[in-house]
Structure 1
Amino acid sequence: MSRLFALFVALLLTATTATAQQQYRLRPGDVLRIDILEDSSLNRQEFILPDGRINVPLAGSILAGGRTVSQVQANITTALAPNFAAPPTVFVSVVGLGGSGEAFEQANLINVYVAGEAASPGKRQIEAGTTLLQFLGEVGGFSRFAAIKRLQLRRPSPQGGEQIFIINYRDIERGAPIKSNIVMKDGDTLVVPQRRLFE
């Protein structure tokens, strides 16, 4: 009887967690897991950018911020449908929640972000003073869709707007010197764009 009760409790907890995920309104900084049953090469984790959008290969830019998981799942399915003989089976789940923006208690850590075609996009806590080259070593690699010749480091400007640094990672791999090994700052976002068709 106790095994049956334990099984019932486990099923109830699973159902409650699934319901909570379906009702949750996504926010910038959250990390989504996207799985496409018909093409596992498209499976990935996507970081929701500050503008509330995610980038999905073959589907493009999808609005996620302020929406539920099921709404995002439906949008991705619709956007991918022209690339498949029948609408694909898409599963979306929340695997990481973005912070609420409070400063870290540890003064020596800063918030930086990785978005796009990185192996593991999302929010990172790194030590103050970490250089761009060191941070590239922490990114964990890139997806096969990554345009590594035109990585972007986007830095918010105190006056509004942002500075954009273009980095050719292919040149770095070949041993080319970096003109200026930039030190990462709080709020920096490394954007890994999607490769163009013949790039």
Structure 2
Amino acid sequence: MFRLLNLLRTLLLTGLALTALRAQEPSVPSGDFLLQPQDLIKVQVFQEPDLLREVRISQEGTINLPLINQVDLRNKTLRQAEQLIRDLYDRDFLVNPQITLVVVEYAKRTVNVLGNVNLPGAVPFPQEQKLNLIDAITRAGGFNRLADRKRVKLTRTSTDGKSETVEINADQLMNKGASAEKWVLQVGDTVYVPERVL
């Protein structure tokens, strides 16, 4: 009975942590790229060469453009940013402007994979793609022989500085295949693979 109560408690806590982690994830349409601070982007307005700019996104997620001044791009994809800039120019300055945004230089994006993997350390994100938990461990050389695959820990820090850690059974993810997609990582996440108790 005591073991059953402990199991139920663990499942409930894991579910709450998972809900908290998912609530922090911005919604990104499939095939689109979420802009990050320090990305360098080129903003082109069709037939308006004076408005052409290359700007770096600030740590606060903003850029400055002629006429419309500060534009907040936090949690915006490339396409959403294009639409926002188009709407701002369309509101007061241009009639039906055609805006094109291109990422000229990506900010460095990594997650840390530590513990019992063959190549622990920072793992870079593939540009304009998602990175899930199993892919990150694979890029870190995979599990070593001492790894406890059933108790992998994922730690994420939210924008308000709070850290959440959830324990994941990576063996189940690898056996179920497609379900690994729900553990998509974010920049700055830490994955820790503990040692098995022998």
Q: TM-score range by the shorter chain?
A: 0.3 to 0.5
Structure with more helix by fraction: 2
Which has more radius of gyration? Answer: 2
Scaled by the length of structure 2, the TM-score of the pair is 0.41
The TM-score with structure 1 as length reference comes to 0.41
